[in-house]
Each structure stands twice: as structure tokens, then as C-alpha cells.
Chains A and B, each alone.
Chain A
């Protein structure tokens, strides 16, 4: 018996905050790779304190739906899950490389494989690209396009920017897009000036956020000039300073995120290779070339 528990922030105010987490859990549940798939939240129910007792399995893989290593992954989640003797050094991470640590939950006695966050996994790069394919509705999007990854910035967590730079670098190395740029909400280079950073007429902008909410639906579209008022909506693509901006919304809503969750669990020892192959194919929204 092996169980997967996806843990996320959730919200007291915005029901959309947990929607992607539930959706990815449903995708994984449908593969049958785990005997149980559950979700637990900091701000919703079941709470992080109580989610493990809703799971029957003695072997539990816990994957945090967070963008970067930091306060939540290092302090809040292990504390609330009551992971005995947790210490962040278990991950031996440089801020990007947390993989897994095996611990015992004090209240339930379960063996918990506590994984690093989805946001820093290398497979997240593929999700960013898949998000671009989805928003442009072209499985081969790249040539003639610029690509921007948008993050919060370092104001509160230096690891947050590390994750953005990491994925921007990996997309750049693919050589698929004409230009790749990391942009931030609260520091230079700022997302407000997105068109200054690209020569390409078409630019895909993908925020590295788990869920759509205040930042991705209100701040960023207004900051980029897609609209004066988020409530009136915006076009995709929207024309700003002679560029066409293809704004993708939070990467976390992309179906392929389920694959990153599985990769994390797999690297922590879960036996789920078949499910990974299934999820990679079935979450694709664009039609593959040649079909």
C-alpha cells in the first residue's frame, strides 16, 4: 500500500487556489498508480495536521505544491505533518535540489517520504513549455517567439528567484524559443517592462505560480498593460507596444503538473513508472504534430 498526499497552501478567500491541486490529484488518482491519493492544505481541509490520518497506507509520499524551497516547505509543512526529527539539512539542498527525506509521522506512525517542492523540479521546465503550447495552441511553438518566466522576486525569499532563473536557463538551453527572459513582479527586470526585453513580436508569458489568484489574474495582466482593469478581461494574445503578448496564467493550472508530482514521488521511491508515461500523454491539450 502506497499513498500520495499532495500538500498545498489553499485559501480562506479564493476557491480557485486549491483547484489545480485537486485537479492534478484527480489525474493521478485515475492512473491507479497509488492505492490512495489525497490532498491536504495549510488553509483548507483536511488540514496539514489531519491529512495523514485520512490515509490508510503505511507508506506515504508527500509532495508540496509550492514553487520554491522556503518557509513552507522547510518549516510549516514538516511541523504540521508532525514529521519526527525533521531538519532541513535532511534535504542537503542548495535551494534548488531538495529531493526527498524519509521520516516518521509522530501521530500516525506512517513512513513519510517528504519530497521537495514541485517548482524546483527539472520537469517543471517541461510544464512551462507545455503551458506555452497550450496558450498558443501550437505543439511546436517556439520559432519567432520570445518566452518569459515570471516570478515574485526575491523580496521575501531568495530561493524564489533561483527557481525562476533555473527554469529560464533550461528553456534557453533548449534553443526552442528565439529569446528567453526571467521577469519579476517586485524587482528588476520587471514584468511591467516586458516589451523592453524582447525583440520578438510574439512573446509567451508564463507566471511560475501554483494557482491563479490575485497576482496572476489581477496584478500581472495590469502591470504588463494587457488591460487597465482586470475585471474587464484581456485578449490572448493582447497587443502591447507592437508586441503580441500571449499571457498564459499560472503554470500550476497546466495538466502536465501532475507529471512533476509523480516525478517527485518516483524519485522518492514510489513504483509508478507506468503512470508517469500515461500522464505525460493524457494531459496534452494540443494535438501532436502530424495528427
Chain B
């Protein structure tokens, strides 16, 4: 049963007396004047009762849940943050269930999936709610086996690196590490933790729910760019579709893409089925699109390569495996997989010349001289560039890392020769 604290009763009287009728989730309380009150729930009406009688009524078994529920939403959560309130009400399906049903469900725990995160809300004392947050992959884990956190800002560190310790530049990539739990957060901290893991997801979800999401389509975002990103508006429209297919499908990002090429031209790529929307091409998409804009300026050439049918298929398999991020799944000795390391090294040993050119064909068909494919064009011009330079914008050709890159590649070639004997 639900207990009602004196403070909750006191607050209820205070609000009815000073701010007017209460009306929330089926509970309606009005001051009728002359010290009389009327209280209604979906099940019963207590009309014109005295203050002392009302004090009894609000503690009765069938009314108490309505009162503690009112107190939680009106006082503990409040309405200052409409996005937070909307999310927390969504988490217990408040719009769909009357309070007694909801309390029964809350005692068992109500779950909401938010990206890769599972939020479970349960009923605490006096109608308080407790929010537990963990990785959805840990849904059935014993909480004792998970690392417990209590400060929502700890979610920042937890979501900065993936399971392998690699930096996650895209917070909504489906690569959130598991093994942690926030066992007992209040509503404010729960939303803070979720908004740290998936920044702005709750605000955008609620704006969409309210029919007020401001979607900015590709065209507008591209035209707004300046500095080194000014070029992205030149990216051909069919390439924008490839960008969306590359970056924005559910296997790469959990946001549901709502932006299109422009308001009149939808993209063919799948926008995904995520809980929260993506309202605009993100900075990763814009930065990658800049690279593709430059690459797409190149003309095609006809190259002639000698490959066996299996080698052609192997190249396709390698591309597929890298694109699907499955290289880790290819077993070391599984030489039936085209993307197996030994298979790939064999292909390289057989088909690359000393300069790293496939079948000895130079990248630039007009160059008879040997030319390392790395030296072609500006292949590495600025991949780390705008990232490092805070106050600069026109600054595409600061090629610091190029040299290192080339050196590393040469090292790899040398390694080859030595390693063949090792196994």
C-alpha cells in the first residue's frame, strides 16, 4: 500500500487553497469555500467534505496512490523542464494507464529502451520513482556484476570510449560499452544521464512528439557551411544518398534520420527506426562529406588489372567486411574467408608491386615512372586537420601526418618479407 506523508498532504491543501483546483492523472481536488472540499478520482467522488474529512480521504487506500502520484508530478518533477517531464511520463506510459494500474506496473518495473540503454522505473516510497539505467545488453545481468555509478555525469566517461577503448566521436553510434549501471537515480539525474549518453536526444524526441521538431535538410545545412566546409554544397545529390546510406543507417547511428536532401526530395537510404530523431546532418557527416566532395571531383579512369575470379570476389569480400566492421569476426586460420589476414596478405604479396600498386598498374595512367599510390592527389591532405586547429579555417593543406603515414606503409611492406617464415 502507498503511504502518504504529512508534507504531501500539507502541500496539497496549500496548492488547492492558494493556486486553485488540482487536476492530474484522474485526481481532481477543488476548494468549495467555507472550508469544504470536493475530491474526485475515476472510482469515487467525495463532495463537500470538511478539511478534517478530506485529510482522512486522501490517506484512504484507493485515494492515496492518486495523491502521491500528484505530489510526484506536481512537486518533485514539476513542469519547469517540459522535455524532462514528457520523457519521464513516457517512461511509465502515464498517458495510457490510470494510477492504480500504473502503480502495480511500477512495482514490477517499467522498461524503456533509449538507443542502446535500458531505463527501468520503479515505485519508491510515498510515490517517489526510482530510475535505473544500464546497457540493454546487460538487461538480465545481476546488478552486482555491473559497475555501479551514482553521479549522472559519470555517464560522460562511460560513453566516450567503446568496448575496445577507442574514442567514440559519434555518441549515437551503436558502440556504447556495457558493464555499468546507475541503480538508483531520481528523475532529474536520470534525464541528465541519458542526455549525457545521447546529447539532446530527449529535447529532440519531445519536440518531435509535440509536432515542433525543426528539421534542417541537407541542402540547407550544406549551404550554411563556410570555411573549409563551404565545398560540401557541391556534393552531387546522388552522392548525398550514398552519404546517408554510409553514415546514417541503424548499423552506424541510432538516431532516426528525419532530414532529406531537401523538403521536396527524399533520400532513398533507410532513415532507421531509432527512438529519437536526427534533425540535421551532424558534424561527422559534414566533415566526411567534405572529403567525398573532393574525391567525387575526380574523373574515372579505365584500369586494366589481371585478377583470377576468386581474387575479384575476394576484393569484394574485403570491402564488405571492412564496411560492416566484421574484420574482428574473421578467424585467424579461416582461409576460406576472403578478408582473412593470410588470404589478404597472399593477395598483396602476389598482386602488389614494390610501390604498392595493384597488379603493377600505376594510379595515374599517364605516369610511367613509379609512383607510390599514397602520393596521388591529396589523399591524406587534411584528415586530421581542422580538428586540431581551433582558430583557423582556411587551412586544408597542413600535411603533417602524411609523411608518417607513408613511412608506416613502407614499414609494413618490409615486415611482410620477414613474416612469411614465421608460421
Contacts and interface: CB of A to CB of B under 8 A. Distances in A.
Interface of A: 1, 9, 11-15, 17, 22, 26, 42-47, 49-51, 53-54, 56, 66-68, 70-72, 75-76, 79, 107, 152, 155-157, 160, 209-210, 213-215, 219
Contacts of A160: 391
B38 to A, nearest CB: 34
A44 B11 CA distance: 43
B283 A42 contact: yes
Q: Top 7 nearest A-B pairs by Cβ distance? A: A46-B199, A45-B199, A50-B200, A156-B392, A12-B169, A53-B203, A46-B200
B391 A14 contact: no
Interface residues of B, number: 41
Contact of B282 (A1, A26, A47, A70): A47
Contact of A157 (B84, B195, B283, B391): B391
Given A47-B282, A107-B214, A71 B227 contact: yes
A238 B153 CA distance: 37
B81 interface: yes
B200 A54 contact: yes
Most buried by A among B280, B284, B388: B388
Contacts of A43: 169, 283, 287, 387
Contact of B391 (A1, A54, A66): A66
A45 B391 contact: no
Contacts of B282: 45, 47
Interface in B354-395: 384, 387-395
Most buried by B among A51, A71, A155: A71
A43 B156 CA distance: 16
A71 B284 contact: no
A197 B393 CA distance: 31
Most buried by B among A26, A50, A51, A213: A50
B305 interface: no
Nearest to B168: A15
A183 B132 CA distance: 52
B229 to A, nearest CB: 10
Contact of A213 (B169, B283, B388): B388
Question: Which DSSP category, helix, strand, loop or mixed, fits chain B's interface?
Answer: loop
A88 B204 CA distance: 30
A210 B390 contact: yes
Nearest to A41: B283
Contacts of A157: 391-392
25 contacts: A11-B169, A11-B388, A14-B387, A15-B167, A17-B387, A22-B156, A43-B287, A44-B283, A50-B203, A50-B279, A53-B204, A54-B203, A56-B84, A67-B390, A71-B227, A72-B390, A72-B391, A107-B214, A156-B392, A156-B395, A157-B391, A210-B390, A213-B388, A214-B384, A215-B388
B91 interface: no
A56 B81 contact: yes
A15 to B, nearest CB: 4
A5 to B, nearest CB: 12
A54 B206 CA distance: 11
B86 interface: no
A79 B224 contact: yes
Contact of A13 (B80, B172, B384): B384
Most buried by B among A53, A56, A155, A219: A53
Contact of A26 (B153, B204, B390): B153
A106 B313 CA distance: 53
Given A42-B283, A71-B227, A12 B387 contact: yes
Contact of A45 (B153, B171, B226): B171
